[in-house]
Amino acid sequence: MIRNILEYLEETTKQMPGKNAFCGKDSALTFLELQQKAKEIGSFLVGYKKRNTPIAVMMEKTPMCIAAFLGCVYSGNFYTPIDSTMPKERILSILDTLQPEVLLIDEKSKKLANNLGYTGEMAVVEEILGCDIQEDALANIRKTFIDADPLYAVFTSGSTGVPKGVVIPHHATINLIEWYTETFSITEKEIIGNQAPFYFDSSVKDIYVVLKTGATMEIIPKQLGSFPIKLMEYVAERQINYVDWVPSSLCMVANSGTLELCAPECLQKIMFVGEVMPTKQFNMWKAKYPNAMFANIYGPTEATVDCTYYIVDREFADDEPLPIGYPCENTDIFILNGDRLAEADESGELCIRGRCLAFGYYNNPEKTEEAFIQNPLNPHYPEKIYKTGDIAKYNEYGEIIFMARKDHQIKHMGHRIELGEIETAVNSIDLVETGACIYDEESQRIVLFYCGAEATQAYILKKLRDKVPKYMFPNVMMLLEEMPHSLNGKIDRLVLKEYYENRE
């Protein structure tokens, strides 16, 4: 029985010590080097004599950052990634909530750390490396370790913009990785193209899949995200055969015409996660990679990255939403309408139960109690479920269809409307690159933001006639050069709302 994710690292290190585990543009760590450096960092942290306490890690996105994460785990504690490019106020808000035992930084982050005004304990990783490994101390920690100990906490803003620290235990991550590697047949032959920031939970899969299987992860330089041709050239150069990217990245490549210029044959598995994947752009990828495996994966951070998946196995029209599919193994998904199960043709709130669930939000009992509730279908014994705030339903195939966020469901002209349905229709229009909607409650107007300079408002409305009822037509349409995205790559609707409110 696996109790600790470090068991993955240690077993793989025995089998392939000299194989590269994590590679950056300028550095790489083999499994043996990774284990060695993680133990050195863990031995230093043991000196704080703390267990199951948070350690914040603010370092450059390099293989050494992953060694720092694992060092925290070796010390019997859990880690929280902080990106140095986050706004200063957000970093301080996270640190204030977390009150970490120590803030681990690297030399490149030292200046920023000193300018934060943070008064807590700080340690520079480069100064820790090379210290004596305390094998006995590390072994004693492992003896008392259980799989319900926390592994990491990642901070998510949600719709309010206030960071909430989602605490994930080892058993939830093990549950994820066991299912994921089996379902997608991941082996040591995989070369994973990691694009997700380490503070975004999608990167958890990339990291721990490597530790379990002996695959190699290539950390794609962040700057390539703005240059689709260079991004795909990097995929070809590093022979990346597996990607699990947010749809905005895949759409950028498709919309730019890059696939016609550079579509590396090495790509074999293409996953998308984090937000809705527009079917039109998916079809562009599918046309270029007819033999690749494509999967639409869904899950909130609170359910340890993934809770449903759909391996695309049939054709979809551009205006037909891709299903989010079926529950992951050892995970139960149900759709509630109030305190009862939704009928077959009825939408409701998607809820989750199982080993995948987070413990809740760090130092935030009120928000934890709001989201993690007693299962209303079970009044007999304590059983927590997570209410996602996402509206979903089953289609005729018994597959789950994501419709919209609960806070994106509106009442307009007497009709209940899912803004996601309008977005799906708009995104299927040929000249539109991407579209997103918000609702102005005061004036009761549907506001559409879209990219695609050749698509006039009249053209969009004409195309919508065959796709949605007239009462779902946007009342205001705003053309943008590019869609704003949050730090984790999702469309930033708070910024869209500001655009709208500050328009001339």
Residue-wise DSSP of 207-230: HHHHHHH--EEEE--GGGGG-HHH
- pTM confidence score: 0.88
| 288 Cβ neighbours under 8 A, 6+ residues apart | 259, 263
Handedness of CA 243, 247, 248, 250 (dihedral sign): positive
Cβ atoms of 18 and 47 closer than 8 Å:
no
Structural domains of the chain, with CATH: 13-167 (3.40.50.12780), 220-407 (3.40.50.12780), 413-501 (3.30.300.30)
Handedness of CA 460, 283, 492, 309 (dihedral sign): positive
Query: In terms of Cα–Cα distance, which of 315, 299, 76 is closest to 176?
Result: 299
Handedness of CA 22, 28, 32, 37 (dihedral sign): negative
Task: Write down the pLDDT at residue 159.
Answer: 47
- As averages over each run of 10 residues, the pLDDT of the chain (504 residues) reads 96 98 96 98 96 97 98 98 86 93 95 89 96 96 97 77 88 98 98 94 96 98 93 98 94 94 97 91 97 97 96 96 97 95 91 97 95 96 96 95 85 80 91 93 90 94 88 93 84 90 76
Residue-wise DSSP of 93-133: HHHHHH--S-EEE-GGGHHHHHHTT--S-EEEHHHHTTPPP
Would you give the DSSP letter of residue 84? T
| 191 Cβ neighbours under 8 A, 6+ residues apart | 215, 216, 217, 218, 238, 239, 240, 241, 242, 266
Pure H helices in 197-315:
202-213, 228-237, 247-255, 258-261, 279-288
